[in-house]
Amino acid sequence: MSVLHVLLPPLQGTGNDPEWRAWLARGDRLPDIRDARAACVRERFRFSGRAIPAAALRHHCHAGDAASGIWLCADPAYARSEATGARLMACPVHDLSAADADELAAALQPLFDEMAAAPVVDTPSSWCLRLPDGESRAAFTEPAAALGASLADCLPEGDTGRAWRRLFNEAQIALHAHPVNARRAAAGKVPVNALWFWGEGTLPDTVETGLQCVASTDDVLRGLAKMGGAVRLEPLPQAVDAAGGNGDVLLDLDIPGQSDAIPACLPSFRRWLRERRFNVISLVFASGERYRVRYLHGLRFWRRG
């Protein structure tokens, strides 16, 4: 039995299209889950450790040389100053060009000389650090949990976090008057005035998965797919069609800024069930709701969204 596993944005943001809502309502509603995306990832990919080592997996996706060392995401971010402190408002900053990212990383390099590390620009919006062996570990907060929150509540705490709090502040000072941010301000864009540290860990020795294909723009998922031997695709229905085969597929549609486009995927979902491309479509929303839809569920005309 082939299953399509679909990761989606929060349910309330996917539109009020009546056909989309009715189609969902005719499926089986499963119990909600917390940390839905992470839970789904751990369910589909089997590897050692409890946490998902985002930095190592992202870097492995691009460079393939993350097998040794401890890796940490150091993503360009925007923090807004307020009368009582500051808040993280954007992480990552998606509209940063490759040239600007390289220029910012070069300006920040001296801050990392003492720890014998250097910012590695995997993509303009995704940076990482390879930490020296034995580096003390701190409790870092993922961007999704920190967005909109006070920095005082999200930066690493205690003695192990002191060096990272200092580094965060020093990076803000170095970025404040950087020419890249002057150009961004002139263009009406938010400044890159911080680095956000998160996703620490080592690359798993092995990754096992029953997925045939993974369609995602998320380099964490693409890194896991690379290690697990799954085919990597762009997250488009056409790409899933082209993949062929009868195996399980993970389709990641939890893409920033594209929530309203989700109902447009409904014709593909219906066709895949009708043609038995998949026997089941399992949908997991970032807000925790879960649905399981089969072809015969379309006969449940008495259910409405």
Q: What is the pLDDT of residues 178-192, one digit of tens each?
A: 999 999 999 999 999
Give the span between the Cα atoms of 89 and 153, in whole angstroms: 14
Q: What is the pLDDT of residues 34-52, one digit of tens each?
A: 999 999 999 999 999 888 9
Q: CA quadruple 178, 128, 37, 237: dihedral positive or negative? A: positive
Q: What is the pLDDT of residues 122-159, one digit of tens each?
A: 999 999 999 877 666 789 999 999 999 999 899 999 98
Give the span between the Cα atoms of 168 and 156, in whole angstroms: 10
Residue 244 burial class via C-beta count within 10 angstroms: exposed 0-12, middle 13-18, buried 19 and up? exposed
Q: C-alpha angle with apex 41: 40 to 46, nearest 5 degrees?
A: 115
Structure pTM?
0.90
Give the span between the Cα atoms of 167 and 172, in whole angstroms: 9
Q: Are 245 and 225 in contact (CB under 8 A)?
A: no
Three-state SS for 220?
Answer: helix
Which helix (DSSP H) or strand (DSSP E) does residue 291 occupy? strand 290-293
In the 3-class helix/strand/coil scheme, how is 88-131 assigned residue by residue?
EEECCCCCCCHHHHHHHHHHHHHHHHHHCCCCEEEECCEEEEEE
Q: What is the pLDDT of residue 259?
A: 79
Angle (deg, nearest 10), helices 158-176 and 98-108: 120
Ordered by start, the domain boundaries in the chain are 3-48+208-299, 58-201
Q: What is the pLDDT of residue 116?
A: 78
Averaged pLDDT for residues 244-263: 84
Length of the chain: 305
Residue 206 burial class via C-beta count within 10 angstroms: exposed 0-12, middle 13-18, buried 19 and up? exposed
Q: Are 148 and 87 in contact (CB under 8 A)?
A: yes
Flag whether pLDDT at 275 surpasses 70.
yes
Residue 240: which pLDDT band, with cuts at 50, 70 and 90?
Answer: confident
Q: What is the pLDDT of residue 84?
A: 83
Mean pLDDT of the chain, nearest integer: 90
Structure tokens at 36: 């839905």
Q: What is the pLDDT of residues 93-120, one digit of tens each?
A: 999 999 999 999 999 999 998 877 888 9
